[in-house]
Amino acid sequence: MTQADKRIEWKARFDAWKASGFSVAEWCRKQGVKDHQMYYWIQKFEYDTPKKETSETQWLTVKVDEPINVTTGQEPVFIHFGAISVEVRPGANMAVLSDVVHVLQNQC
C-alpha 51/C-alpha 59 separation (Å) is 22
pLDDT one-digit tens code per residue, 81-108: 777 778 888 888 888 888 887 777 776 5
pLDDT one-digit tens code per residue, 14-54: 889 989 999 999 999 999 999 999 999 998 888 776 656 65
User: pTM for this one?
Assistant: 0.45
Do 20 and 31 meet the contact criterion of CB atoms below 8 Å apart?
A: no
Enumerate residues 6+ apart whose C-beta is below 8 A from 27: 16, 17, 20, 33, 38
3-class SS at 98?
A: helix
Q: Give, in order, the Cα–Cα distances in Å from 38 to each of 3, 77, 88.
A: 16, 54, 53
